[in-house]
Chains A and B, each alone.
Chain A
Amino acid sequence: KQEVTQIPAALSVPEGENLVLNCSFTDSAIYNLQWFRQDPGKGLTSLLLIQSSQREQTSGRLNASLDKSSGRSTLYIAASQPGDSATYLCAVSKRSSNTGKLIFGQGTTLQVKP
């Protein structure tokens, strides 16, 4: 059974700091991994999607890496800003043609202080 873990559960940093969020998964037979952002009381906003054949994806100040063999992904946020404060979730999809079901981690709640 696939399990996804995110560490730390919460993180507080001063503005301008570079930071790394971690995601680990127990079954390496994934099709892709997706990072989301969730603001309080809101839905999920897709940040980055990494296919299992890829090593990393970049979007602006965000960079996500994937090491499938070790079951790990990291989300790197450069030059953090107060607007980055949110909960960040990673999710993996199983390598199966039958479903696009995502398994989510519990998330890391980030606070960036001005």
Chain B
Amino acid sequence: KAGVTQTPRYLIKTRGQQVTLSCSPISGHRSVSWYQQTPGQGLQFLFEYFSETQRNKGNFPGRFSGRQFSNSRSEMNVSTLELGDSALYLCASSWTSGSMAGELFFGEGSRLTVL
């Protein structure tokens, strides 16, 4: 059974550009969450999607957006990149949403560097 797949694994962008990251959840999982990990702030919640609907959003500016498709795959987009957006972006999947979601399974992450 394949795990959570994130692409691309590494990318370098310059300030002002935009980036799109992709996440394919474990087969059968319908919920996808995104987290940002930085050395200073640790792991912070970005958003959670279930059945193509955003269920929850973290405290991030509107430059951060996401969506989920009918096959449960998810994308997140960051527009007008800033140096502080450099981070490891992690996607997690679970079979359902909410506190009944149980165990979350994470992908390997997308390492974004903004120059």
With contacts defined as CB atoms under 8 Å apart, how many contacts are there between chain A and chain B in the complex?
75
Q: A97: which of B99, B103, B105 is its contact (CB, 8 Å)?
A: B99
Interface size class of B (residues with CB under 8 A): 20 to 34
Closest to B47 in A: A101
- Report how far A91 CA is from B103 CA in the complex, Å: 11
Residues of A within 8 A of B102 (CB): 32, 49
Contact (Cβ within 8 A) A98 B55: yes
Which residues of B from 87 to 115 have beta carbons under 8 Å from A?
Answer: 88, 90, 92, 94, 97-109, 111
Residues of B within 8 A of A95 (CB): 99
Interface size class of A (residues with CB under 8 A): 20 to 34
Q: Mark A51-68, 1 if CB is under 8 A from B, else 0.
A: 000000000000000000
Residues of B within 8 A of A (CB): 4, 6, 31, 33, 35, 42-43, 45, 48, 55-56, 58, 88, 90, 92, 94, 97-109, 111
Other A-B pairs, 4, CB within 8 Å; known A36-B106, A98-B55: A31-B99, A32-B102, A46-B106, A101-B45
